[in-house]
Amino acid sequence: MSQIHHARCIMVQGTMSGAGKSLLCTALCRIFAQDGLRVAPFKSQNMALNSYVTREGLEMGRAQVVQAQAAGVEPDVRMNPVLLKPCSDTGSQVIVRGEVRGQMPAAEYFRYKKQLIPEILEAYESLAQTCDVVVVEGAGSPAEINLKQDDIVNMGLARMINAPVLLTGDIDRGGVFAQLYGTVALLEPEERARIGGLVINKFRGDPAILAPGLAMLEEKTRLPVLGVVPFMDLDIDEEDSLAPCLEERSVHKPVDVAVIRLLRLSNFTDFTPLEAHPVLGIRYVQDVSSLGHPDFIILPGTKNTMEDLLWLRQNGLEAAIRKLAAAGTPILGVCGGYQMLGRTLQDPWGVEGGEAGRTLRGLGLLPMDTVFTRQKTRTRVQATVLQQPFAGAQLDGYEIHMGNTRGAGTPFCRLQDGTPEGCCQGQVFGTYLHGLFDTGELTVRLADWLCRRKGLTVQQAAPIDHEAYQQQQFDALAKGVREALDIQAIYRLMEEYR
């Protein structure tokens, strides 16, 4: 297979999932952009339930969206040509170049994935022609020896695009020297030769203490350690289910907001702006005992609405939520959570993974019904909230869902083209819009309303500009990583492989 020579590139691989690859790639995107280069992120195959709709109406993983935003460029589906959205323990929805290709069990996809190589390389080559540097992210670990055959995301991809590699390990969870040494030892000689340097990530403390270990690591691997990146307390969207925010069980802020942590939770980044608000304590709940009596409940999106609805029913959360709603606790459902709040959910085609024709009753808190369809809705929208106490809030979001919802309730908002969207009844609100808190206007109205309900006096705050706040976080990340890594060595490494 011919090698591709356009933009320079650097690939970040990790010793395991959660080693910090995504954040390190985000930092490099920002650093190269600060240095005046045109930068694009790339990840050939992403497995995540946090996805995004581009302006062209195509779906991609949010990790590369965040990296594109750090690079100062528009998210492009070529940056993530293959997205796997798990819909069960053994199967995923396969999305290629932003379009649904189908549902596949893991074994079937493992056999099928090599057929995607031409499309992956076409996406990469097309992207590489538009920029100076491509920052490539691997997935999991390159040393998963049972998965190395027909690899399209780690060393297999590095070979196809002739990319040098940085290998990063997470010291925060312990065993980083064994992680790095063991990973290098399990690679083939030609794969080891691609590694230009090692990076130790998420370090707390004085790096001088690591010096003897770093010297021994360099001696045993015969690879340079290019830096020790400190643990940084920054607010940048996390990629997937390993996100620390999902482990929050109690937050000491005046207003208690409980987000139901569904088994197939998707797009939890919708609530990142809420977490930044000084009075809103966002915590994630998986059982009745930890639900308690929150001031506000959010039912978020899910990759499998019907199965997660059954999970709610079986573990008692459905009954607890209905009881709280009857007592006046306000509830918001987003996307799949919105569908659950209705009267019925019908799946005539079996798109939710169960038997065709299955019907479930919903929570019955909104007067509407959902019918799942084979076609996925993917669109970016702007809207104005109609419902008090949030009326007038301007939203800029997107829809990603299977199914149509119809009902008799009051609409939640009106889309830019005049179409009513969502449903409200009393203090229960539902909408398909992801990113509904990003403009900050709905966040401010929600916080003020919840404070008034509790009798709290809250100083009227201006909406937080989520984009400006995000840019500040990117700059802080880039500063920390630039100070910790030998960036000039990375530039030299990219030149060697040009």
The residue that leads in pLDDT, 49 or 361, is: 361
- Tell me the residue type at 461: A
What is the C-alpha separation between 66 and 477, in angstroms, rounded? 13
What's the DSSP call for residue 319?
H
The pLDDT assigned to 49 comes to: 85
Write the DSSP assignment of 72-138 as a string of letters.
Answer: TS---GGGSSEEEEE-SSSEEEEEETTEEEEEEEHHHHHHHGGGGHHHHHHHHHHHHTT-SEEEEE-
Q: Is the pLDDT of residue 147 over 80?
A: no
Query: What average pLDDT does range 429-456 have in this prediction?
Result: 94
Distances (CA, A) of 386 to 334, 413, 420, 449: 16, 5, 9, 15
Helix axes 62-71, 21-34, angle to 10 degrees: 20
The pLDDT assigned to 4 comes to: 45
Q: How many residues does the chain have?
A: 498
Question: Does 335 qualify as catalytic in the annotation?
Answer: yes
Which of 60-64, 262-266, 447-451, 467-471 shows the lowest mean pLDDT across its residues?
A: 467-471
What is the C-alpha separation between 362 and 415, in angstroms, rounded? 25
Question: Does 434 qualify as catalytic in the annotation?
Answer: yes
Q: Residue ranges of the alpha helices (H) in 105-233?
A: 106-112, 117-128, 155-161, 176-186, 189-192, 211-221
Q: Which residue has the tokens 């056999």?
A: 111
What is the C-alpha separation between 158 and 29, in angstroms, rounded? 18
What is the C-alpha separation between 221 and 167, in angstroms, rounded? 12
Which of 236-240, 284-288, 310-314, 423-427 shows the lowest mean pLDDT across its residues?
A: 236-240
The pLDDT assigned to 462 comes to: 65
pLDDT band at 323 (very low <50, low <70, confident <90, very high): very high
pLDDT band at 459 (very low <50, low <70, confident <90, very high): low
Q: Is the pLDDT of residue 116 over 60?
A: yes
- Tell me the residue type at 314: Q
Centroid of chain to Cα 245: 12
Catalytic one among 87, 434, 451, 466? Answer: 434
Q: Which residue has the tokens 């008799």?
A: 408
206-215 per-position pLDDT tens digit: 888 899 999 9
The residue that leads in pLDDT, 130 or 498, is: 130
pTM of the model: 0.85
The pLDDT assigned to 425 comes to: 95
Plot region of 478 (φ>0 → left; ψ -120 to 50 → alpha; else → beta): alpha
The residues, ordered by sequence, that sit 6+ positions from 157 with a Cβ below 8 Å of its Cβ are 11, 44, 120, 136, 138, 151, 163
Plot region of 184 (φ>0 → left; ψ -120 to 50 → alpha; else → beta): alpha
- 449 neighbors 205 (Cβ within 8 angstroms): no
Catalytic one among 335, 423, 424, 451? Answer: 335
pLDDT band at 2 (very low <50, low <70, confident <90, very high): very low
pLDDT band at 5 (very low <50, low <70, confident <90, very high): very low
The pLDDT assigned to 482 comes to: 98
The sheet carrying 82-86 orders its strands as: 45-47, 82-86, 91-96, 99-105
- Tell me the residue type at 289: S
Reduce the DSSP state of residue 361 to 3 states and report it. strand
The pLDDT assigned to 205 comes to: 85
What is the C-alpha separation between 85 and 93, in angstroms, rounded? 5
Write the DSSP assignment of 248-310 as a string of letters.
Answer: -----SSEEEEEE--TTEE-GGGGHHHHTSTTEEEEEE-SHHHH-S-SEEEE-EES-HHHHHH
- Residues of the chain with pLDDT > 70, as a percent, come to 94
- 133 neighbors 9 (Cβ within 8 angstroms): yes
The pLDDT assigned to 337 comes to: 97
Domains and CATH numbers, the chain: 8-236+472-496 (3.40.50.300), 255-457 (3.40.50.880)
Q: Is the pLDDT of residue 39 over 80?
A: yes
The pLDDT assigned to 249 comes to: 59
- Residues of the chain with pLDDT > 90, as a percent, come to 77
The pLDDT assigned to 457 comes to: 80
The residue that leads in pLDDT, 46 or 247, is: 46
Q: Is the pLDDT of residue 296 over 90?
A: yes
